[in-house]
A and B are shown apart, each in its own frame.
Chain A
């Protein structure tokens, strides 16, 4: 099964995973990792360990492109084709992930999750204002 790892600042990732589970119930293979207290080297090493333990593929969900989490993800995934990195994680993407990961291959899953994440960002309540 394709695994998911939410790598973020502070406890943002842990909270996202907790909320996903409060919506769909217990989820296997979706965990969170914080950059708190970790140097770039440490975070990269930790991600490399997680990657080595995954054979079906891994989606790394990152909060912010350009931050230490995104840097470490890129450094850790240097030689790995079984991992994709998606920045700008939101709840819709994680719900899409647990819904689709059993039926799509890693590439198609990544593409769908990017679309899903983007579609989830919308201004609402503007009907009638043109």
Chain B
């Protein structure tokens, strides 16, 4: 499986993913890695329901998702194109370390929560998020903040992280 997009988005499967990125990149498999959703059949049903039937959807715990990524790592010629989704940078970092090394991660939406500060208008972070972003940068992963295809990409770099850290 080739990963066409690894995206951090706390809205998980929604229009920007299925319509925006989906129509641009045409993935045939969406892997959503989230422990809470994977453990709740109702949430699984809601998130599955909005995806076209031609696209396979796997909703997995982070450890199951990492195992899946390891298992399909060598099968480069299987024609599978995967869109990998997590709700936060910690889960994506787990997949990066235990599933498959990611050269690029798309930061698509981390909305405001109490205790978080604005890094970008659609990216709010706390100490744990900053630490996860730093770990990605340290391993050479490019962090591209962009909500939808065609929008301007902002690279999340150390300078931005230092700026926001002063406000935390």
Contact = CB atoms under 8 A, between A and B. Distances in A.
Interface residues of B, number: 21
A71 B14 contact: yes
Interface string B36-74: 000000110011011100000000000000000000000
A113 to B, nearest CB: 21
A118 interface: no
Contact of A71 (B11, B87, B110, B112): B11
B18 A66 contact: yes
B104 interface: no
Given A71-B46, A75-B46, A66 B111 contact: no
A42 interface: yes
Interface residues of A, number: 18
A98 B51 CA distance: 33
B14 A67 contact: yes
A39 B10 contact: yes
B53 to A, nearest CB: 13
Given A39-B111, A78-B42, A70 B50 contact: yes
Given A37-B111, A74-B46, A78-B42, A66 B15 contact: yes
A40 B10 contact: yes
Interface centre among A9, A40, A42, A64 (most CB of B within 10 A): A40
Contact of A65 (B13, B50, B109): B50
A41 interface: yes
Contacts of A65: 50
Interface of B: 10-15, 18-19, 42-43, 46-47, 49-51, 87, 109-113
Closest A-B pairs by Cβ, 10 of them: A66-B50, A39-B111, A39-B10, A68-B14, A67-B15, A68-B11, A74-B46, A40-B11, A67-B14, A71-B46
